[in-house]
Structure 1
């Protein structure tokens, strides 16, 4: 979509009006107008209105200005929410004797809704719920017998914030929220949430490319598993596989994935909360595929392709409420990556096809990072004459731009 600065410059040049003449006709200084055209500064509304009239834009300049002004307002609101949420997570981590407010009914809904919603509004909802918890905490409006449940509620809301910030690309803030979730789990004595928080901290470290630290988080999380309650061990084993694969250890990575399958078989009770806090079979297959694409191809790529395909099929055939859209989209990228490793360019293009028309609000940071890697693989010299590879790289670059 053409931006206001681009449209302003294009219309002025098409009209043949020089910058000095343009400045005189809309009664504004040339230096500022130059900044407005280059995008260095946001133009005031009166400039958009006057320029629209002078350039006979028929309302197009005003509409573009209003659209971008709304986006700026939303970005500022999101920034304020992030700052307030971050301050609250710092409080949760710092105060060992912190009381946690009443368990909110919205926690379960938020955990499920997150799978199919953009991260920014979910961040806002989680922050509002947790702010209410803090208010009850500080006013003492809860029963002492509820303390453990209230710690869990605040921990889960901190976990939602961790995922939201990671999906928005800010790993440092995400880690603070994940640490708050882990501390709340420890205060509550909730092993299931503690294992989940450890796995999430490992996920964040993997996003940052620090696989040694990510492995430490996983192995620290094993202290919370072993009872057969929930999918915590399976999730941690899959996280370990991702670390080992990125560190180049194919044998150990495959063994960790096999151990994850055994952990699921030993499980006697499911997760106490689904959605963001669950770890379905589809998610487990997704983790397996996303692990093995970091190795050297061959049998690892074959297993990665099978696992990614299985994850997509399970999500598409399963209940809508359990469908993790962002992970399903990423599974398409992982499938495409594995197929490139198997030298199947046409298959890779087919796999990533559904991702190439995503609107900007659905392009979470993981999608951009992984698609960019795929583009690099397709741009290798061996595919320099392959039309499918060239066109797919062009489409990916347009997406990530």
Structure 2
């Protein structure tokens, strides 16, 4: 069956148009059009519509574009369901003889695997493990000394569910899971988990754009931070910086990022669990970059670009178990945002290139939200005559559609 790229080339040739001729009609450069015809880049709907009209395809190109788009979406949906079902089956098979040590290993593996996995299968795995944990707590099928550990495990798994729900765009569900994690931390008397929950609640509020509430969550969390015990204070300081930056306070935001650096230097005992419950040096630079892009540019944008670049480099060169793919992709978006603020449109397009090629199942809600902001910046009158800005904005629109 003829694919859209093949059909596009056939109709162009039938209309006796060169790549350059058609490029003028679709408002893309010749190289981009060549990539559309060879299938190296997905074709935006606007290009399909303009090419259909220019070549006299009479709706054939647009119809094929919609058919292939529907097929891609259906395939992505099937992939998600299959991955989730397989993950649950494997988890269920392994739960029959699960003891407390195996359960804790499952929690640890889930925390690490989350960094490089789509949220849906991780949600299924965490739900399955948490159901086992709750059943033991309800039934009393555990040693008395294990009760606190079971509450911590249940709290960690609730935290995984919270992150997964937020990554899929369900902030209210995420907050309920975070509240459950906080209750488990309280029952276990675990200050480290309680501090992590406070930071996560603030993250959810920031996702919702409620920065005053997000700031309250962060400041409530400081009561759980022990001197030199893990990365909790550094994470909360960075969360406070994000709140303050979004509220327009550059000086206070930068001061909190500096305070986070000092807190990291005071760490004497590592986090009890890594993965999504840790706060690596790369993650700290990522938070700094994601904070300062909400200010007025200038020195803040320069620091944001440096920090985002550092985060990307640390993740790419560091241990695989600490590499957070979603955050690394977002760091590319924050780097692009800072570069646009610094009028480096070509540099911004370069930073976005790895994100623009993502398959549908990897486009978490954070990526879509932040990419839309970059597109809006590139569409401003300031860059009306900049072809790179126009092409990049179109590519973002194709992705977020």
TM-score (ref. length: structure 1): 0.76
Structure 2 CA distance for partners of 1:114 and 1:78, relative to 1, 3 Å? closer
Structure 2 CA distance for partners of 1:70 and 1:268, relative to 1, 3 Å? closer
Task: Indicate yes or no: 2:77 matched with 1:71.
Answer: yes
Find the counterpart in structure 2 of residue 113 from structure 1: 113
Find the counterpart in structure 2 of residue 329 from structure 1: 329
Q: Structure 1 CA distance, aligned partners of 2:130 and 2:188? A: 16
Matches within 5 A, 1:77-88: none
Cα contact 1:115–1:326 (8 A) shared by 2: yes
Cα contact 1:282–1:310 (8 A) shared by 2: yes
Q: Structure 1 CA distance, aligned partners of 2:250 and 2:334? A: 17
Find the counterpart in structure 2 of residue 216 from structure 1: 216
Q: Which deviates more, 237-246 or 188-197?
A: 188-197
Task: Indicate yes or no: 2:165 matched with 1:152.
Answer: no
Cα contact 1:102–1:153 (8 A) shared by 2: no
RMSD value over aligned CA atoms?
2.3
Find the counterpart in structure 1 of residue 244 from structure 2: 244
CA deviations 1:187-229 (Å, max 9, x no partner) are 1111111000000000000000000000000000000013311
Please list every run of 5 or more consecutive structure 2 residues that lacks an aligned counterpart in the other structure. Answer: 3-66, 88-98
Q: Structure 2 CA distance, aligned partners of 1:229 and 1:71? A: 42
Cα contact 1:235–1:260 (8 A) shared by 2: yes
Q: What SS does the corresponding residue of 1:296 show, helix, strand or coil?
A: coil
Matches within 5 A, 1:87-98: none
Find the counterpart in structure 2 of residue 387 from structure 1: 387
Cα contact 2:159–2:178 (8 A) shared by 1: yes
Find the counterpart in structure 2 of residue 235 from structure 1: 235
Cα contact 2:275–2:322 (8 A) shared by 1: yes
Find the counterpart in structure 2 of residue 340 from structure 1: 340
Matches within 5 A, 1:136-175: 136-175=136-175
Q: Which deviates more, 315-324 or 133-142?
A: 133-142
* Number of residue equivalences: 320
Shift of 1:71: 3.2
Find the counterpart in structure 1 of residue 284 from structure 2: 284
CA deviations 1:44-82 (Å, max 9, x no partner) are xxxxxxxxxxxxxxxxx9xx8898499379669989x9x
Cα contact 1:102–1:133 (8 A) shared by 2: no
TM-score (ref. length: structure 2): 0.76
Q: Structure 2 CA distance, aligned partners of 1:77 and 1:330? A: 24
Find the counterpart in structure 2 of residue 316 from structure 1: 316
Q: Structure 1 CA distance, aligned partners of 2:73 and 2:309? A: 39
| Deviation >3 Å, runs of 4+ | 64-79
Shift of 1:137: 2.1
Please list every run of 5 or more consecutive structure 1 residues that lacks an aligned counterpart in the other structure. Answer: 3-60, 82-100
